[in-house]
Amino acid sequence: MGVTIFAGLHTHLRPKAARIYWEAFGGKLGRVLGPEPRALAFLERVIRADLCLSAVDESGALVGMAGFKTPSGSFAGGNWSDLIAIYGPVGGRWRGWLLRALSQDSDNDRFLIDGICVDRKHRGKGIGTHLLAALYDEAAARGYRSIRLDVVDANWRARALYEREGFLATQTQTIGLLRHLFGFAAATTMVRPLRSPGP
């Protein structure tokens, strides 16, 4: 399967991008961002084209994405006004507090991946590996020497891929009572160097 990866996300691909993201992460976000129609509307609204790489097949259909985080924001984070616009004043606020408790992370020393997702019909075809390679190039172009991601304990398949790619686990954090809402109990930070240090 031929895949082309490019920086950004074309406007007409945003609905499919929201769907692919939800397929990948709805299991952990469903109780907070659901119901599904609202979650898709929220994701389509907040996904940032300047903080992602897209993978398309020969026909131009979106088959995967890789998001990243910078000091200017995250791939699919949104803000309070986005949450309130989709979920209303009350629903938006409680969801915002829960999402904020889950992740306030930023990393000035390592390039931080903010989600890799592949269309369900195209998993197992190497698209995730291609997206990781493109992320390595993006990180190196931005001057980073290592790349970091967090993988939840329930996603053993993704962790196996990252380990094959040379990522090493550095720490695991539990999320306490939030596990009842987010569908996982702990997340492991994994880091991979991009190149050997100079002399």
| Total-model pTM | 0.88
Task: Answer yes or no: is 124 within a domain.
Answer: yes
Phi, psi dihedral angles at 70 (to 5 degrees)? -130, 175
Domain harbouring 51, CATH code: 3.40.630.30
If one counts the domains in the chain, the total is 1
Range of the domain at 22: 4-145
Residue 199 has pLDDT above 50, yes or no: no
Q: How confident is the model at residue 121 (pLDDT cuts 50, 70, 90)?
A: very high
Instruction: Name residues whose C-beta falls within 8 Å of residue 73's C-beta, 6 or more positions apart in sequence.
Output: 48, 51
More confident residue, 99 or 94: 94
pLDDT digits (tens, 9 = 90+) for 149-198: 999 887 888 899 999 999 999 999 887 777 767 778 888 999 999 974 44
Task: Answer yes or no: is 14 within a domain.
Answer: yes
Task: Answer yes or no: is 95 within a domain.
Answer: yes
Task: Answer yes or no: is 170 within a domain.
Answer: no
CA 87/CA 91 separation, integer angstroms: 5
Average pLDDT, the chain: 90
